[in-house]
Amino acid sequence: MLYSEKVMDHFQHPRNLGKMEDADGIGEVGNAKCGDIMKMYIKVENDIITDVSFNTFGCGSAIASSSMATEMIKGKPVEEALELTNKAVAEALDGLPAHKMHCSVLAEEAVRAAVQDYYDKKGMANEP
């Protein structure tokens, strides 16, 4: 199975790795079938995601997808983070093998869950 250089780079040198103690939003998602668990933390100021980090228990594709997703939403408005798609994550990684696409789906879901948690804590409705 061949992984792109970007997948390997983000797997071997994950960006924004680690727990965030004072996160404004935390999203945890998992895929029982493959055993991957992804936890995403976001820090928000003036509706901008100023910091983001993650902890992922899973395969290289799951770690790479988490890492890339954090890079893609950092510095972006919260609403824009909600628009992140698994396809965009996979494309940013120069592709994932078909049987690993669920990893980028998890990254999308983790971002959405973290934003939803942020909205819930602020007592805000999630605007579609």
Active site residues: 34, 103
Q: Which conformational region is residue 46 in: left (phi greater than 0), alpha (psi within -120 to 50 degrees), or beta?
A: left
Alpha carbon distance 23, 96 (integer Å): 29
3-state secondary structure of 55: strand
User: CA-CA distances (angstroms) from residue 119 to 47, 77, 78, 85?
Assistant: 10, 13, 10, 19
